[in-house]
Structure 1
Amino acid sequence: MTSSDQAIEHSNSLWEHVWRIATSVSALTVCVTVATFLLYWRTAAPTVLQGDSGELQFAAWGFWLTHPTGYPLYLILGGLWQHLVQIGDPAFRLNLFSAFWSALAVGVAFLVFWEITRARGASLIAALTFAVSPLFWSQATRAEVYALNTFFVALLALWGILWREKPNRKFAIAFALTFGLALTHHRTTFLLIPAFAALFADRIVTKNFDARHFAKRALLYGALAALPLLMYLYIPLRAGATPYAMIDLSPAAPIVIFENSPRGWLDVILGSGFSGALGIDAATWGALRDFPNQWIAQLNPIGVLATLLGLGVLFWQRNFALAAFVLFGGFAFVLFNSVYHIGDISDYYTPIYFFACIAIAVGIAFITQQLRAHTLTRNTTLPVIALLAFLALLPLQNLFNNFFAQAQSQHTNARTQWARILASNLPQDAILISNDRDEITPLYYLQLVEKQQPNWIGLFPKIAAGARYENVIALVQRAAGAGRPTFAIKPIPALTLRYQIEEGANGLWRVKPIAPGMPQHPTDVVLDDTLRVRGYSLLAGKPVAGEQITLAVQYVPLKKLARNFTTSLQLFDAEGKKVAQGNDHVPGDVEYPSSKWRVGQVIQDQFDIQLDPNVPSGNYKLMLSVYDPSSGEAIGELTQIGEIQISD
């Protein structure tokens, strides 16, 4: 062999060595983790957010409390991350914290798929498909608990698969400790029990099954899983240090958000306040019917077909344990989510798509194995490469279709809104109210982390338990005892039903907790012995042809109203012909509809009426109708409550 041949052989050997390293499972795991982390970083929200994200951004910073079930592990790790990772503001750092755990979840998912299929290409495509599924991607760009939860789901699956392949004590210990840690983070970990029971059953219950030995091992691993639950001591240890656990409304009684007592700690840990959200009703069946559409939206039709193919392959191969693991893991979340009625329930679906991607990996691996074994294609790798290139469209399609929708890098709405409010020169002791809790959490972040306007108080309905916090009407009344000026951070029409409103700059409303005064035109009309019409007033405009007027009509409920009625105010001429009609609406909308009105309470409704330019001058009858459009039920008939004179 010549020196030239030796050099070529050495070069080829070197490239083969580099290729083996580059395509090793370890290298691919690192690559897919780093690549997805960079993607999530690029699309992460840059600053403070609304809702739970905003709450977590300030709660983790101070190692304080957050909403049930407390999430102690998240708050400890997130707080450390915020203080140690000096990139951007603390809010952005916690958004990046989600990107970190989401990327790790994708890396672990790749290892799970590899352990099941032993096919690099199939595992890589399935992992990337999961990485850019819209729901999971959205959770990687904002401060939320779901990224860490998905990481634990994937890690538990990895330990479970490894133990099934080789029942080694180290995998069992790792599984038990991870399960306990996962429980300190999110209680839906319990939903994984049927899936893992199916995965482990045939390895545990064998011909030589020893019940006593099994019980001893179960107690040991159960104790290991229980150890991390000691982390819930964070709740009582930090309750007293949480500055918003009690809101001072002196001289009125304070608002207790977190009760610093054993009962209060348990309420947070057990999530007692959410027990009423569980139930089987029409929303349950609606959620079940809608799930196939969600599945397609997350994985697209090709991904759904690949999932079904993978499940079919598992049954055909008689791998019933893994098939049951995938099915039980996915359907446990589908069923639970259908009976748990909370606002962010869509975020609970992420583990379902992880289990679906296991089936996708199995399906792709099966097809590639068949191509390698077929007589027409066994001697060439081109068909396999072509197939994998085609199936790579699965993640690529979601990547390109959803990139701009998922990119939150310009999402500064919350900070912009509050910068405008902060510049409004409100009093130092102002109380700021919204009908949406999500809109208030950025204020807490700005106060507690950035030390802006620390004396303002932000309130929202259901900030604490009890009827006094049930809606914005009750909330304003509760805050009135403090004697502080109260402002709504946006127009909230329900407030006009009970209080005097002054519109201010930047969309703020000054709310005066004063009941409506006597109407300009009192009446004594009673509708069906149920609702008394107290009278009406002209609030705005002039009753001139072609103009718009605003009329206020006052009611006093004589009985408890069971429905959310719609009100209609119409103008009729002397011959009984309708000449104008106000805006039919549900007074109080969702915040304070008629079913929430109290007997004897004065309610002031408002109607905008556009007068026709050709309407003749004269007196016109004001006719009121109170009805439920869904059932057809009405309170009395269309009834005259007064007259209005229109001039031309």
Structure 2
Amino acid sequence: MMLKNTKVILSLSVSIIVFIVYLFTLAPTVFFIDSGELAAVASTLGIAHPTGYPLFTIIGHLFSMLPVSASEIYKLNLMSAVFCTLAVFMFFFLLHLIYSYPQKDIPGNKKVKKAPKQNVQHNQQVPSIIKYGIVLASCLVLAFSKTFWGAANSVEVYPIHVFFIITLMFIFLKAVITPVKISEGESQVSFAKNNRYYLLFALLLGLSFTNHMTTILLAPACIIFFIFANRNQKGNISRLLIFMAICFVIGFSVYLYLPIRANQSPEFLWGNPYNFERFYWHLTGKQFSVWIFSAQGSVPVFLLLLSALLGLSIYGYIKRNNINPNYHFIAFIVIVFLSYLLLSSANEVVAKQFKTFTSSLWVEFGTGIVLLAIPGVFKLSRFNVKIFYFTLLTFFGCMLYSVNYDIHDIYSYFLLSYITIAIWIGFGIFYIFELLSAQLTDNTKKIAFAAVSILIALSPLYSNYAVNDESKNYFVEEYTMNIFRNIEPDGIVISTQWDFWLSASWYFHFVKNIRSDIIVIDRELLRRSWYFTFLERNYPEIYNNSKAEIDRFLPELYKFEHGIPYDQQVIMKTFTDLAASFVINNPGRKAYITWEIDQNKQEPVAANYLRIPEGLVFRLVKPDAMKNNILSDYKVYDFNFTPSRIKNYYYETLMQSYALMLSSSANYLMSMNRIEEAKKYVTLALTANPNYPQALELKRRLNL
């Protein structure tokens, strides 16, 4: 009883500490990428981008209605902190389970007669003091690792994902450790009770898929170990599989939210999955499939490495009692070597993402802490071969898949690998304990070792605090509000800057009703037929004014979406005509584009219009509206933003956007001889990027 209370007290204590830290670093508002969209969808019970994330949406909606004095976005950011904390809580129990079952103590293990001397594994029970010290240390290492902590700071689908992943690992290993009990004539209720861990696993597995499809990355480890754990059940296992299938379907049925809600005309209905075809497209992520295994040669390399991983793992598992125990660690080294050899020399996408992953490891858990994972892998291979191969499959299965995904925000896809490394780091600490065990004979010394382990585990808290402190991060909100400020009443703005303000605009525009007068159009989403339903419902006047162009474009888009042969020139012509129509057909509204639209010369928007840099956007103006090449109603705006020197794609691009547009606007002001206003914009441009060439040249010309 005392030990049980100790486990509960320590798990709650570490979770509370972690949650308090997360509160200090929590983002106060919208963040980059999908934050604004997900917040808008959760707040209004809409439909998010593929694969829909219905469980996230439902849970998020409940959080958005919490009776506390805070904005919807803050409550949803808080949800991320809560679920990452719950993930740490479950990680404690997962680790406690692993350390409680050295190889010989797992029920159902068979003794091998006359095992060779070198095959004997030293799997004594871990002293309780050391066990709890290592478990706490591992929890802290994971909780304050860079990517895991980052997920806790803002609204995203990954916090719920890691909670489910860790919970599923715990319940699955619990099920494997608890032998399946099957008796002749056993009632259905009794059968379900005796196999409750497998059934709970299946239910939560189905639920987890409704939050994020990368739950599939658990498949190699779980399928192999389910087969081996139940290989002697033979015919009786079919009953268990039927029960598990029913539980899985019950959990997975949350996905019915998508077609049900789509037919209720929500404000946000990405993909509009109102029928089976569109539901299937959304469920399978058809829109984003072009980014996974997209590079030439990706699939053969992936299959080769996966085959090697499965082959070495299955052989090592089957022969674990009859081969030299060093085989297991050697198998790990072989897979590492093959991965490095094949991935680092693969196509550009895979090589880039593999380098991103490997270079992240040195600082992910605090500088150099990842080195403890190496002796940890060795120790785990001696401590419990089954769990060793389980972690091997989760780590490499996740990494091999994720390096084939060509996106900027790739780190979150490595979370299962990072979780596995945190387990290995704990065993690295255990390995050090065993080396020092002769000197750590009394409880006082063991307590001291456990305390030192926990202190070392706090290294990532120190190393990663600054980079994960988002408590004053208003970058995306500032940029979005500055864009809004820049658009005249009833104006139209066309952009593709989803990651930087378009996503956020969904939240501010529709949930908070800020600048509800303006029309915001994402040009990239015009390539998707569902987006026209969105435009019709939210901007009916704009939709009707471009109805003729939409009707010409949609048949061509239908061919594209359904894989029917189409004429490239025709679809491009109808697309550019459509984009231009939002400007041409609404002469009473001022029209704007962002800088990347201007730079895209292959798909120009309203090519016959002049592009006048006005603040952070280009205003589209008819040539005959200019008098002596001067725009008479040209305005200078007061922009407030926080400069950033963070070396990161998103922050650097954001600062580049400020510098580029403010420099261009300053240059235009100089052409109108509005020198003082030009100086103001040049100063702001250099605040955003002190080394921006155009701003430096303007500074020289203005004698600033």
TM-score under structure 1 normalisation? Answer: 0.69
Check 1:418–1:470 CA distance in 2 against 1; reply closer, same or farther (3 A cut): farther
Q: Is the 8 A contact 1:462 1:470 kept in 2?
A: no
Please give the residue correspondences for 1:313-328 in structure 2 after superposition, counting only pairs within 5 Å: 313-317=379-383, 319-328=384-393
Q: Alignment RMSD, CA only?
A: 3.3
Please give the residue correspondences for 1:223-302 in structure 2 after superposition, counting only pairs within 5 Å: 223-244=246-267, 258=272, 260-279=274-293, 280=298, 281-300=347-366, 302=368
2:531 is aligned to none
Instruction: Give the Cα separation in 2 of the matches to 1:191 and 1:166.
Output: 23
Please give the residue correspondences for 1:187-198 in structure 2 after superposition, counting only pairs within 5 Å: 187-198=213-224
Q: Which amino acid in structure 1 is aligned with residue 496 of structure 2?
A: N
Q: Is the 8 A contact 1:69 1:270 kept in 2?
A: yes
How far has the Cα of 1:465 moved from its partner?
A: 3.0
SS class of match (1:24): helix
Of residues 408, 413, 416, the one that matches 1:348 is 413
Report Cα offsets for 1:398-421 as digits up to 9, x if no partner: 111221211111111222233334
Of residues 593, 596, 609, the one that matches 1:488 is 593
Q: Is the 8 A contact 1:71 1:186 kept in 2?
A: yes
Q: Which amino acid in structure 2 is aligned with residue 96 of structure 1?
A: L
Check 1:464–1:265 CA distance in 2 against 1; reply closer, same or farther (3 A cut): farther
Check 1:343–1:21 CA distance in 2 against 1; reply closer, same or farther (3 A cut): same
Of residues 97, 101, 115, the one that matches 1:115 is 97
Please give the residue correspondences for 1:69-84 in structure 2 after superposition, counting only pairs within 5 Å: 69-84=51-66
How far has the Cα of 1:131 moved from its partner?
A: 0.3
Q: Which amino acid in structure 2 is aligned with residue 124 of structure 1?
A: L
2:522 is aligned to 460
Instruction: Give the Cα separation in 1 of the matches to 2:20 and 2:524.
Output: 38
Of residues 495, 498, 522, the one that matches 1:434 is 495
Instruction: Give the Cα separation in 1 of the matches to 2:204 and 2:263.
Output: 29
1:130 is aligned to 142
How far has the Cα of 1:230 moved from its partner?
A: 1.3
Report Cα offsets for 1:241-265 as digits up to 9, x if no partner: 455558xxxxxxxxx9536433222
Please give the residue correspondences for 1:506-585 in structure 2 after superposition, counting only pairs within 5 Å: 506-512=615-621
Instruction: Please say if 1:361 is aligned against 2:413.
Output: no
Report Cα offsets for 1:213-251 as digits up to 9, x if no partner: 1122112212211111111111112224455558xxxxx
1:404 is aligned to 466
Structure 1 range deviating more: 503-512 or 101-110: 503-512
Structure with the larger helix share = 2
Check 1:94–1:245 CA distance in 2 against 1; reply closer, same or farther (3 A cut): closer
Among all aligned residue pairs of Structure 1 and Structure 2, give the percentage whose two residues are the same amino acid: 24
Instruction: Give the Cα separation in 1 of the matches to 2:146 and 2:516.
Output: 37
How far has the Cα of 1:28 moved from its partner?
A: 0.9
Q: Is the 8 A contact 1:244 1:257 kept in 2?
A: no
Q: Is the 8 A contact 1:69 1:268 kept in 2?
A: yes
How far has the Cα of 1:26 moved from its partner?
A: 0.2
How far has the Cα of 1:144 moved from its partner?
A: 0.3
1:171 is aligned to 197
Instruction: Please say if 1:377 is aligned against 2:440.
Output: yes
Instruction: Give the Cα separation in 1 of the matches to 2:579 and 2:32.
Output: 22
Instruction: Give the Cα separation in 2 of the matches to 1:268 and 1:398.
Output: 38
Report Cα offsets for 1:518-561 as digits up to 9, x if no partner: xxxxxxxxxxxxxxxxxxxx999xxxxxxxxxxxxxxxxxxxxx
Q: Is the 8 A contact 1:102 1:147 kept in 2?
A: yes
How far has the Cα of 1:79 moved from its partner?
A: 0.5
How far has the Cα of 1:121 moved from its partner?
A: 0.4
How far has the Cα of 1:22 moved from its partner?
A: 11
Check 1:221–1:257 CA distance in 2 against 1; reply closer, same or farther (3 A cut): closer
2:537 is aligned to none
Instruction: Please say if 1:67 is aligned against 2:172.
Output: no
Instruction: Give the Cα separation in 2 of the matches to 1:397 and 1:74.
Output: 32
Instruction: Give the Cα separation in 1 of the matches to 2:575 and 2:460.
Output: 41
Structure 1: runs of 5 or more not aligned: 1-16, 247-255, 518-537, 541-588, 590-606, 609-648
How far has the Cα of 1:365 moved from its partner?
A: 3.0
Check 1:79–1:470 CA distance in 2 against 1; reply closer, same or farther (3 A cut): farther
How far has the Cα of 1:107 moved from its partner?
A: 0.7
Instruction: Give the Cα separation in 1 of the matches to 2:52 and 2:506.
Output: 18
SS class of match (1:49): coil
Instruction: Give the Cα separation in 2 of the matches to 1:97 and 1:330.
Output: 27
Report Cα offsets for 1:388-407 as digits up to 9, x if no partner: 34433443221112212111
How far has the Cα of 1:314 moved from its partner?
A: 2.2
SS class of match (2:527): coil
Structure 1 range deviating more: 220-229 or 462-471: 462-471
Instruction: Give the Cα separation in 1 of the matches to 2:575 and 2:494.
Output: 8
2:23 is aligned to 41
Q: Is the 8 A contact 2:493 2:520 kept in 1?
A: yes
Count of residue correspondences: 489
How far has the Cα of 1:290 moved from its partner?
A: 4.1
SS class of match (1:427): coil
Check 1:85–1:28 CA distance in 2 against 1; reply closer, same or farther (3 A cut): farther
Instruction: Give the Cα separation in 2 of the matches to 1:33 and 1:322.
Output: 25
Q: Which amino acid in structure 1 is aligned with residue 593 of structure 2?
A: A
Q: Which amino acid in structure 2 is aligned with residue 363 of structure 1?
A: G
Report Cα offsets for 1:148-198 as digits up to 9, x if no partner: 000001100110222222235121121111111101111111110111234
SS class of match (1:70): coil
Q: Is the 8 A contact 1:239 1:245 kept in 2?
A: no
Q: Is the 8 A contact 1:473 1:495 kept in 2?
A: no
1:414 is aligned to 476
SS class of match (2:520): strand
Q: Is the 8 A contact 2:595 2:617 kept in 1?
A: yes
2:159 is aligned to 147
1:25 is aligned to 7
Check 1:259–1:211 CA distance in 2 against 1; reply closer, same or farther (3 A cut): closer
1:251 is aligned to none
Q: Which amino acid in structure 2 is aligned with residue 258 of structure 1?
A: N
How far has the Cα of 1:132 moved from its partner?
A: 0.4
How far has the Cα of 1:514 moved from its partner?
A: 8.0
- Flag the structure with larger Rg: 1
Instruction: Give the Cα separation in 1 of the matches to 2:619 and 2:261.
Output: 36
Instruction: Give the Cα separation in 2 of the matches to 1:72 and 1:98.
Output: 16
Higher relative contact order (CA 8 A, sep 6+): 2
Instruction: Give the Cα separation in 2 of the matches to 1:314 and 1:512.
Output: 68
How far has the Cα of 1:200 moved from its partner?
A: 3.6
Structure with the larger strand share = 1
Q: Is the 8 A contact 2:210 2:254 kept in 1?
A: yes
Structure 1 range deviating more: 456-465 or 408-417: 456-465
Instruction: Give the Cα separation in 2 of the matches to 1:330 and 1:452.
Output: 44
Instruction: Give the Cα separation in 2 of the matches to 1:146 and 1:215.
Output: 34
Instruction: Give the Cα separation in 2 of the matches to 1:471 and 1:494.
Output: 20
SS class of match (1:339): coil
How far has the Cα of 1:493 moved from its partner?
A: 3.9
Structure 2: runs of 5 or more not aligned: 101-130, 180-193, 299-346, 529-556, 558-570, 631-655, 657-666, 669-704
2:395 is aligned to 330
Instruction: Give the Cα separation in 2 of the matches to 1:539 and 1:367.
Output: 75
Q: Is the 8 A contact 1:499 1:511 kept in 2?
A: no
Q: Is the 8 A contact 1:48 1:412 kept in 2?
A: yes
Q: Which amino acid in structure 2 is aligned with residue 388 of structure 1?
A: A
1:543 is aligned to none
SS class of match (2:525): coil
